[in-house]
Amino acid sequence: MFQVHVRTRINGDDTEFSCEADETLLDVLRDRVGLTGAKEGCGTGDCGACSVLVDGRLVCACLMLGAEAEGCDIETVEGMATGAKLHPLQQKFLDHAALQCGVCTPGFLVAAKSLLERNDNPTEEEVRYWLAGNLCRCTGYDKIVRAVLDTAADMRKASKPKPAKAKAKKASAKRRVSA
Amino acid sequence: MNVQPDNKSMKRDFDIVGKRTARPDGIDKVTGRARFGADMSMPGMLWGLVLRSPHAHAKIRRIDTSAAEKLNGVHAIVTSKDFGPCDDSLLDIRENVMAREKALYDGHAVAAVAAVSKSVARQALKLIKVDYQVLPHVTDVDEAMKPDAPVINDKLFTKGLDKTPKKPSNIAERFEFGHGDVEKGFKEADLVIERTFRTAATHQGYIEPHACVASMGADGRGEMWVCTQGHFMVRNTCAGLLGIDVSNLRVTASEIGGGFGGKTTVFIEPVALALSLKANRPVKMVMSREEVLRASGPTSSSSIDVKIGMKKDGTITAGDATLRYQGGAFPGSAVPYGAMACFAPYDLKNVRAIGWDVITNRPKQAAYRAPGAPMGAYAIESVIDELCRELKLDPLDVRLKNASTDGSKASYGPNFGVIGLKATLEAARNHPHWKAKLGKNQGRGVACGFWFNFGGETSVSLNVNVDGTVGLSVGTPDIGGSRASIGNMAAEELGIPYDKVRCIIADTASLGYNDVTDGSRVTFASGMAAIQAARDAIGKLCERAAKIWGIPADAVVWEKGHARPASPNAGKHEPLSLADIAAQAGATGGPIAGHCEINAEGAGVSFATHMVDTEVDPETGHVKILRYTVFQDAGKAVHPSYVEGQFQGGAVQGIGWALNEEYIYGKDGRLQNPGFLDYRIPVCSDLPMIDTVIIEVPNPGHPYGVRGVGETSIVPPLAAISNSVSDAAGVRMTRLPMSPPNVLKALGRI
Amino acid sequence: MVRVQVWGSLKPAIGGEDSVEVEGETINDLLKALAAAYPGMDEAVRRGVSVTVNGEMYANAVMVPVKPDDEVFILPKLVGG
């Protein structure tokens, strides 16, 4: 079948590949570029195990063609750590035992990273709705949500070197889980 | 030498067991480096795809593969002709893996191809011509039992009856358990309630589809990479189906993305091997989600009649249940376990449970976490709940009053050993959840559940490395974090830090046989074997220390990771650490290792009580889970985070089963919802936090008191949620799932 | 002689009673004796059974010793998930 030549940037590396016109970005990442972190759980965009960031946007790689990645900036789970230093989310997932079999974990990490890049103080409800596109069958989501909220709290602390003045928090109807 | 010969449980303080240690596969799993079933490639690899029947029931008159064979890039095509004679015990699996004279369900494998790429394989499938003669089908369990139902297997005659019938039917077997006189018991009751319940088939829903890479050589030797709960089972089954020696097939278990019982058997693995043998090249096969739902092993749908009698004071005088399960197109549903487990939480004088194993034109069922038990518990716990309400009795008090306890006779026969059911009920009663206020359209439900747990054949090898670290090879794939728990136990026994022990899953060529990871057995059995292997190694380490010191071996004891003289009489010798002795291993006799090959028995049963609050929207029928608490007996929680994880995961699968998941078959017998959009498992936003209370009533049959926990947690949720919804809605729910349309129907609104 | 109890639907195989006495010193002996004496039991044993001895569950036919006053139950072969 006719192959398309594509130029992208993946986790910061300039990358070129050829793929068939009907191959998905997920197929390309896994079978051509050697990045098997993103997983195929359903192939129809319902499980989020293939979550990647494309030009900063959270996307199911199984719903995008490899050819559509021309000129795009792609981030996968493999790009989250900096060398041997884990991203805070990765460390928190381990600390909270937020994974059992771990197959959904790359998708959750990418999705959670995307959330925290937009909102550094999500409520439990906001976390749950943002992650509603990622299926997990092992954990029941409890420890995953705790890990994300805990990461957010840590990241807020780390970005505020001076102790913040105590602010009266608005009484919120949404339930919060203490970190 | 002082090694504990007694395997039985001792109460003791633990240094490492019970701590939340770091799991060895953790970094790999959060960085994407861990390799699951579909993450492996081999040089020269082909892609395999399966052609599947679009009919629920059809004779296969002819398969014409000639056009497909001519397509450039196609290297092998297999059909049932490529699977020769095999042992009787494998006949059903052989037919399920590749249809023979008939296609028995929508999605049944009919042929398979191996080609240079997925797209060539897809084209090849389109070129295979199958001549089907469509036959009448039946997919419902009660319909399949009717005398005029289409007979799926004309050689199936019901077993377990007083007289074997002369005519074939779809009823494979009748089971009966119980004791006493139920009719007499009902006469003693002040209130008798009879109800019929129905549950739909559900799927284990693991996020990772089945995947493998098989490589067979022309010499009949091969290897396989596969995500599975039992690579020894895969090896033995595939060797049996392909007619090769077991030792000629070496199987490596990849990381596994969920199993829950659905990966305790084979589907595409023998096909991949057959293709590889024919093509003489490695073949990779990965199921699509649609294939997983249509053609792997969901659990049974059921139809259950329950009759229970209760006195005004809450004593249950008799319980009688008839369970009908369909297990797909082959006999072997989990109905016997459902019938055995459903009354198990109760100490009853008069009890009977009858189970009917029925076949239908559906995929062959596979185990799903406490197979058969959730449906039975749902029915029995619902009727007990209704009796409590009618008699105005507290549901926890009634359960406590009738609870099975140490030494009581189980409904399925034997007497219980030491069990923790009452402890879970008492913990439930004392928990703040029980007293929390409920609002409008909100209700609370409780239910108990039980699972047997068992041991099984287990082999473990523990090797002491020259730097004092320890390599621990086990043969039970890690589906829940068990490597960390097993490492905890080995480190505890050896008296060395946890991070000096590395636990891996070895391949089939490197260890003795291991039964599959199931029955909640790994922490129990592989843990017990690891403890024994550690004790074996300790014996050898003490012998080496004795050699170094020139004293008799029995004058050496092992304490806190060191060999020391047993008494001052043995001489003044500084203690030798494991690392010290390991460094001198070569000089003192060679490598030091401990082994254990056992049939691990003495598994302790695990009981649980679940409590759940729900809110029902009377306009839409939507059910919201407000609060959920799990109380379960773990014996000894070796790694509390993973015990909590099992409690939460099982509860949430139960929530999905209770509220939304179901297999929907059309009139044409085809599965209508083979995808995650319409087969909807719980998502993050559906749920609250799942609270867990770990009860520890040690199991006397394990050195540390461990009980399996993985399965019991899925047994109570269906009933607890149904009781809660019935409370909230004011009407008894008798059908699962309690999806919005079903709730509205029950409310009489549609 | 050890008294072996069977589940309800196996009663017809052993003549209608819910238990029967057989000779044997291990679980294996008991199963062999049952299979030899009753064709219905032979089939059940070949298909696979689990056995409890004084409440402890054994999923494989094993050389576990049994004594005359032990409580022995034959159950369908247990499978987990």
pLDDT in tens, B364-394: 999 999 999 999 999 999 999 999 999 999 9
Lowest mean pLDDT among B27-31, B262-266, B310-314, B587-591: B587-591
Residue B82 at interface with chain A, using a CB cutoff of 8 Å? no
Two structure tokens written together for B33: 């480096």
What does the pLDDT look like over B174-203, one tens digit per residue? 999 999 999 999 999 999 999 999 999 999
Query: Does A contact C via 3+ CB–CB distances below 8 Å?
Result: no
What does the pLDDT look like over A59-93, one tens digit per residue? 999 999 999 999 999 999 999 999 999 999 999 99
CA angle B646, B650, B652 (to 5 degrees): 120
Residue A163: predicted pLDDT: 61
Percent of chain B with pLDDT over 70: 98
pLDDT at A170 over 90: no
Residue B7: predicted pLDDT: 52
Residue C77: predicted pLDDT: 85
CA distance B738 to chain A (A): 19
CA distance B41 to chain A (A): 9
Q: How many residues are given for chain A?
A: 179
Do B240 and B93 touch, CB atoms closer than 8 A? no
CA distance A142 to chain B (A): 5
Q: How many CB pairs under 8 A join A and B?
A: 176
Burial of B590 (0-12, 13-18, 19+ CB in 10 A): exposed
Percent of chain A with pLDDT over 70: 89
The domain locations on chain A are 3-78, 88-167
Instruction: Identify the closest residue of chain C to B158 by CA–CA distance.
Output: C9
ipTM: 0.94
Do B196 and B323 touch, CB atoms closer than 8 A? no
pLDDT-based confidence at residue B121 (cuts at 50, 70, 90): very high
C54 vs A113 pLDDT, higher one:
A113
Q: Mean pLDDT throughout B239-251?
A: 95
CB contact under 8 A, B685 and A132: yes
Q: Which fold has domain A3-78?
A: Ubiquitin-like (UB roll) (3.10.20)
Structural domains in chain B, CATH included, are 26-34+455-600 (3.30.365.10), 37-135+209-256+263-295 (3.90.1170.50), 301-453+604-746 (3.30.365.10)
Residue B521 at interface with chain C, using a CB cutoff of 8 Å? yes
Residue B525: predicted pLDDT: 82
**Omega of the bond prior to B737 within 30 degrees of 0, cis?**
yes
Give, to the nearest 10 degrees, the angle between helix B395-402 and helix B421-429: 160
pLDDT at A164 over 60: no
Q: Mean pLDDT throughout A148-160?
A: 93
pLDDT at A169 over 60: no
Fold equal for A3-78 and A88-167: no
Residue B288: predicted pLDDT: 98
DSSP B700-711: TTSTT-----TT
Within the 153-192 window of chain B, which residues sit less than 8 Å (CB to CB) from chain C?
159-162, 173-179
Subunit partners of chain A (3 or more CB pairs within 8 A) = B
CA gap B542, B548 in Å, rounded:
10
Instruction: Identify the closest residue of chain B to A20 by CA–CA distance.
Output: B119
What does the pLDDT look like over B649-684, one tens digit per residue? 999 999 999 999 999 999 999 999 999 999 999 999
pLDDT-based confidence at residue A179 (cuts at 50, 70, 90): very low
Instruction: Identify the closest residue of chain B to C80 by CA–CA distance.
Output: B519
Q: Which fold has domain A88-167?
A: DNA polymerase; domain 1 (1.10.150)
CA distance A163 to chain B (A): 31
CA angle B690, B35, A93 (to 5 degrees): 30
